[in-house]
Structure 1
Amino acid sequence: MHPDVRLLGGRYELVALIATGGMGQVWQGHDTLLGRDVAVKVLRSEYTGDPTFLTRFRGEARLAAGLVHPNIAALFDYGEVPPAGPTDEHLAFLVMELVRGESLSGLLYREHTLTPERTLDVLRQSAAGLAAAHAAGVIHRDVKPGNVLIGSDGTVKITDFGVAVSGSTVPLTQTGQVMGTPHYLSPEQAAGARATPASDVYALGVIGYQCLTGRRMFDAESSLQVVLLQLNGTPEPLPDDVPPPVRSLIEGALAKDPAQRFPDGAAFRDAIDDVLAGRPVRRLAPTAAVTAVPDPTGTLPGGVPLTGPGTEPETDVPQSRRRRLLAGALTLLAAAAVAGGLQLAGSSGDGEAAADTPAPTSTSAAPATPSPQAIALATADLVGRPVTEVQAELTARGLVVTLRPLQTADVPDNQVIAVDPTGELAPGSPVTVTHAVAPPAAPAPAPVPDTTQPTTGGDAAEDAADAAEDAADAAEDAADDAAEDAGGGNGNAGNGNGNGNGNAGGNGRGNGKNDG
């Protein structure tokens, strides 16, 4: 989707496409009034006519406008452009702080894993941003690597509050719809319960796990299977070289029971500070429903030890509660299947939002056969490069590429403008690469003959040919005349007039004289 106008609201100029997500596109823009670069998120044209999506988009603007923190991408403005004519579309857009850098998903694609020190830095800044949101009563609900931006100076900023909720939010979720991205979805969200600040902490724990291992915590052939694994699955252990305090921190954030997790972003941020300072981690107050198990090894209270496959996971979550969560989730999934399938809806970002998938025929939460390694695509890594280079790279990585030329004078010829979809893709997935094509040059006007000047070029050649032809004719006539003059005959001698035939082919006449 490309907006019909290049200047939104008479102020914001769209410069280059940055990313395409579930609800819209994010552009690098320029505020012509204040003279600064911004990020402009434009709602997809197919959604502007849907009151639910427009309401959610406006809700994102209201929630993000009230959040001011160094680790949250600032919202500057919101606007809508009504259609000017019957063929025009309704445009809605957000104007945000432009973060010069890359997403965490792009960083992980390039480096695969991060050191424990860098992982803690990313988690600490992310938790600080979420702490400000939680203090304002806002729950993000879709924390994932694509929504964690890392600036060129190392500053981390949380972005995209497209499915966030607050205490005053009007529910927009339909029955059977789970908001969020399955790979980073908390167990309580997967079970259909309302998200809490601890749900965002769980997502940060999953991100930390991925940073340290180079892989997602759970992966399967379908989004629905991933949701079931979030409910009852046990992840692979963290690598042996992860320091015990860091290991315990991640385990504490990944507790299946939200009551056993760090309760919000502020608590998780403080726990990270304790680990960085080498202090004992502050213990969480046990709830009435759950009794904390003393940990003589010094791991975080509430931590869920990670065990390998085939072993019974040690857990501080009562089995009765686990069974209730699983039963509730299966009931929800069964009801959704009857109604036409479970809908997993994520907000816009780097393409990690899950598509609708059919419900499985089995209620087992055992992991399915691992799917092939996913292929991560980041728009920032592809846009602006030559199209032949991008096509060759994506084809070599196992994707099916379709080229879409777009005539424009704003981007150099054969430069990639957009790639759709992006994020984590399965091998063999189709990818559309939009590239610039220079408009055809306007034909030069036909020259007007100038009758006041001597002819040149083609006319001169024609005149020269005519002159040569005239000269040849003249030469032929002269030759004929000369032959005729040379044709006099010899007359026979005698009295009177004698006639003779000239040898030269002419008729000659001579006068004869009698000598004798």
Structure 2
Amino acid sequence: MDPNGDPGPAAWQAAVRLVPVESGTLLAGRYRLDRLIDSGAMGAVWRARDEQLDRDVAVKILLPGLDGAGERFEREAKTLASLKGPGYVQVYEYGEELDGDRTVHFLAMELVDGVSLARLLAREERLDPERTMRIVAEAADALGEAHRRGVVHRDVKPANLLIDADGRVRVVDFGISLLVDRSRLTDSKEVLGTVPYVSPERLRNQDVTGKSDLYSLGAVAYECLTGTPPFPARDPMAVIHSHLYEEPPALPDTVPPQIAAVVSRSLRKAPEERWESGAAFAAACRSAATGEITVPPSVEPGVPVEETERRPRRRLALVAVAVVLAAAVFGVVAWSPWTGDGPQGGADESTVEAAANTTGAVETSASPDPEASESATESPAAQETESGGGTDGGGSEGGSGETGGEETQEEEADEPKSGTTELPDVTGRTTFDARDYLEGLGFSNVVADVGYYAITPEPAHCTVVQQFPSAGSTVDYADQVTLSYHSRNAEGTTCEW
């Protein structure tokens, strides 16, 4: 599409990716689409009315033209349907609808009244330790149950944790989950996930178990306590290197030591040194919140806990020089050929694929007013405020949440700007350069959304092709500014944050 075409949500303006539905469309003779809640690289979630049962639902629709996505989408539906309990979003129906010569794949889900943890952190910056432990414990319980059923989530992040109206945590967006011991739908060298939360073994393309999810959840806990992920650098390669070889900065002194110990253990590089299960992680969180010191389950007999805690660091220190030298050589030949969400890690030729699956239904809106968010009927992964989060679980309406990627809340010394101004033109820049430029001017809600534009010559990877609102528009500094970027599949590095 010509970048000078009519503006609109990036997911709907992307060439050959237009969703063949609109408001008022009736799917399966019963789901009347009302309004778009959220969209991402693989799908879009609508608020809809189930006319047969007279209830509101969230309907996720797969974008057309995605190779192999239909099978993955159906697997996601089956995965969600197999998970029962308060920690998940209920699935009502998976179906297909013919639209001319195209097939529309859809998934009807529970419409959840809630807010994503990503949006909550964007509003509050950080959470107190006790609240953090409660949220992480509930998420660990839900992940532990999924692991017992042979399902590894593989994209645990704040945008995929929804907090419903009753304060319960729902885990959503199982779009890239791995069913252990079953055939994979992706190449064995493909690593999926979101860079700030991805585990070291994922980056090294090693076997992935539930402990990978626990590492990611530990990174989420760290962000809740500090306001940023463990490794908040904007350069994805720097973040990946840190996940592989560096220890996260110590948690602030305001975090009780027993809570810091629980989070620290979840972020161990070696999976066997983390909590042995989601249930164990959850129990440790609850104990730490009451002030109890949780003794790591793998402490060697007769060896003080402190000594055991120091040993991994000494081992890392011994190999530090070799690692740096190897990384320097490896970086020349292997950091560039990305095909996923991040670069290749370790000595393995693994990749990280940007997985902007939309699976936790979230309702977006131009009004970031936190109070308005709280009062409306909210959807799980994206409230009726702005931006998009993972849309994999039920639609959430009223708060606001994220879809594919999550917003990294940066610490700011100055108060955010208020009032209106003219939005400058940032097309032609990379998403990161455009975001830094806009944030430097005072815009506080800049998000990115993939577009895959059919333009000759093809734009560079991560180039902003369209922006919404358009350049020259009068906007509030707090309004959402969406950067619609071109992604080259051959590159694969994430263009979002």
Q: Shorter-normalised TM-score: what interval?
A: 0.5 to 0.7
Matched, 1:21 2:40: yes
Q: What displacement does 1:276 show?
A: 2.9
Matched, 1:432 2:468: yes
Distance 1:62 1:332, change over 3 A: farther
Name the SS for the 1:314 alignment partner. Answer: helix
Rg: which structure is higher?
1
Q: For 1:117-136, list aligned pairs within 5 A.
A: 117-136=130-149
Which residue in the other structure is 2:117 paired with?
104
Q: What displacement does 1:189 show?
A: 0.5
- Structure 2 counterpart of 1:66, from 77, 82, 85: 82
Which residue in the other structure is 1:314 paired with?
313
Tell whether the 8 Å contact from 1:104 to 1:146 is kept in structure 2 after alignment.
yes
Distance 1:428 1:82, change over 3 A: closer
Q: What displacement does 1:318 show?
A: 8.6
Tell whether the 8 Å contact from 2:172 to 2:359 is kept in structure 1 after alignment.
no
Tell whether the 8 Å contact from 1:31 to 1:38 is kept in structure 2 after alignment.
yes
Tell whether the 8 Å contact from 1:160 to 1:349 is kept in structure 2 after alignment.
yes
Matched, 1:294 2:311: no
- Listed one character per residue, the Cα deviations across residues 32-78 of structure 1 (whole Å, up to 9, x for unaligned) are 1122222111111232xx2x211111111111111101011122211
Q: What displacement does 1:260 show?
A: 0.3
Name the SS for the 2:305 alignment partner. Answer: coil
2:357 is aligned with what amino acid? S
Tell whether the 8 Å contact from 2:251 to 2:260 is kept in structure 1 after alignment.
yes
- Structure 1 counterpart of 2:169, from 151, 156, 169: 156
Distance 1:100 1:319, change over 3 A: farther
Which residue in the other structure is 2:258 paired with?
245
Which residue in the other structure is 2:57 paired with?
38
Q: For 1:259-270, list aligned pairs within 5 A.
A: 259-270=272-283
Q: What displacement does 1:429 show?
A: 9.4
Q: For 1:366-405, list aligned pairs within 5 A.
A: 380-382=384-386, 400=426
Q: Which runs of 5+ in 1 are unaligned?
A: 306-312, 352-376, 386-391, 403-418, 435-516
- Listed one character per residue, the Cα deviations across residues 288-312 of structure 1 (whole Å, up to 9, x for unaligned) are xxx9963259xxx7x679xxxxxxx
- Structure 2 counterpart of 1:225, from 231, 234, 238: 238
TM-score (norm 2): 0.64
1:382 is aligned with what amino acid? E
Distance 1:350 1:12, change over 3 A: closer
Which residue in the other structure is 1:53 paired with?
69
Cα distance in 2 between the residues matched to 1:382 and 1:211: 21
TM-score (norm 1): 0.62
Tell whether the 8 Å contact from 1:112 to 1:214 is kept in structure 2 after alignment.
yes
Tell whether the 8 Å contact from 2:174 to 2:359 is kept in structure 1 after alignment.
no
Q: What displacement does 1:320 show?
A: 6.0
Distance 1:317 1:129, change over 3 A: farther
Which residue in the other structure is 2:369 paired with?
none
Distance 1:379 1:225, change over 3 A: farther
Cα distance in 2 between the residues matched to 1:81 and 1:44: 13
- Listed one character per residue, the Cα deviations across residues 254-281 of structure 1 (whole Å, up to 9, x for unaligned) are 1111110012211111111222344342
CA RMSD of aligned residues (A): 4.0
Which residue in the other structure is 1:213 paired with?
226
Which residue in the other structure is 1:371 paired with?
none
- Listed one character per residue, the Cα deviations across residues 433-484 of structure 1 (whole Å, up to 9, x for unaligned) are 59xxxxxxxxxxxxxxxxxxxxxxxxxxxxxxxxxxxxxxxxxxxxxxxxxx
Cα distance in 2 between the residues matched to 1:91 and 1:319: 55
- Listed one character per residue, the Cα deviations across residues 94-135 of structure 1 (whole Å, up to 9, x for unaligned) are 122211111111111111111111111110111111111011
1:79 is aligned with what amino acid? G
Tell whether the 8 Å contact from 1:191 to 1:326 is kept in structure 2 after alignment.
no
- Listed one character per residue, the Cα deviations across residues 311-348 of structure 1 (whole Å, up to 9, x for unaligned) are xx935669569978996998699457458784523242
